[in-house]
Amino acid sequence: ILSAVINTVIRPRLKCIEGELCLITGAGGVLGRLFALEFAKEGAHLVLWDCNTAANEQTAALARELGVQVHVYTVDLSQRHSIYHTADRVRQEAGQVSILVNNAGVVAGRRLLECPDELLERTLLVNCHALFWMTKAFLPQMKSSNHGHIITVASALGLFSTACVEDYCASKFGAVGFHESLTHELHAENLNGIKTTLVCPYIVDTGMFEGCEIRQELRSLIPPLEPLYTVQQSMQAILSEQQMICIPRLMYIPFLTRA
């Protein structure tokens, strides 16, 4: 939080990531695609992961127009072996990933007692467990060069909670805990060349919470964020190596007061 405050007052220098290899999960989705295009604009080559092959290919086509190299992989992030297998292919075919954007996420979107068990489990597998496997797959190479950046796209609902999203809150609180512990570990091991950034947005207009009860209540409180604004704010935080960002800043308040 302190670094977020400092970065708001003093505009920090943004790092150059030209020529680096950036892997984005959920790259066929709304925020994933925008992340891909923003990283491409910065000159990073891309490795795009999604279970939705057609949507992922569309992202790839848009990114290639910006002149960067793009590798596309269809993967099921709820399956540990799918992650490890695809990571092996990435290392052989694309090279060393130095920026990892763990963006893919799902929500069950149903009342707990009416929700099939598998749907609840899937939220934890994709939003939380996948962070372990992605990091186990790609951190070793970052460690060997003491260079890299791991971005966790969590949510404001990883910092405080609301009704009817038990699976989502559990997974995003897990993601926040994961990010914090990993950050401590890298610091303790003096791996100061490997950065971490936690992204915690309020609801974004992407369709993810379409049909969830929570959405109607929220509309009248604060309107959903624009996807592009959300990603551009996140990019500022990433490129200035900020450890955490809440979007909008108002979201720091329920976090600090645990409303």
Ligand X SMILES: NC(=O)C1=CN([C@@H]2O[C@H](COP(=O)(O)OP(=O)(O)OC[C@H]3O[C@@H](n4cnc5c(N)ncnc54)[C@H](OP(=O)(O)O)[C@@H]3O)[C@@H](O)[C@H]2O)C=CC1
Catalytic site positions: 168
Determine contact, residues 105/85, Cβ cutoff 8 Å. Answer: no
* Residue 124 near ligand RET by CB under 6 A: no
- What part of residues 188-217 is at the interface with ligand X (CB under 6 A)? 201, 203-204, 206, 208-209
Q: Give the contacts of 225 (CB within 8 A, at least 6 positions apart).
A: 201, 202, 203, 204, 205, 247, 248
How many Cα neighbours within 13 Å face the side chain of 58? 11
Can you tell me whether residue 157 is helix, strand or coil?
helix
Q: Which of 214, 228, 236, 243 binds ligand RET (CB under 6 A)?
A: 214
**Total residues at the site for ligand X (CB under 6 A)?**
27
- Residue 203 CB, shortest distance to ligand RET, in Å, is 4
149 to each of 93, 146, 154, 259, how far by Cα in Å? 21, 10, 16, 31
- Residue 20 CB, shortest distance to ligand RET, in Å, is 28
Could you tell me the end-to-end alpha-carbon distance of the chain, in angstroms, rounded to an integer? 17
Longest pairwise C-alpha distance within the chain: 49
Nearer to ligand X, 19 or 223 (CB): 223
Alpha-carbon gap, residue 126 to 194, rounded angstroms: 24
Q: Which does 222 bind (CB under 5 to 8 A by kind): ligand RET, ligand X, none?
A: ligand RET
- Residue 114 CB, shortest distance to ligand RET, in Å, is 19
Q: Which stretch binds ligand X (CB under 6 A): 11-19, 51-59, 136-144, 249-257?
A: 51-59
Can you tell me whether residue 47 is helix, strand or coil?
strand
Residues that bind ligand RET (CB under 6 A): 155-157, 160, 162, 202-203, 209, 214, 218, 221-222, 254, 259
Residues that bind ligand X (CB under 6 A): 26, 28-32, 50-52, 55, 75-78, 103-106, 126, 153, 155, 201, 203-204, 206, 208-209
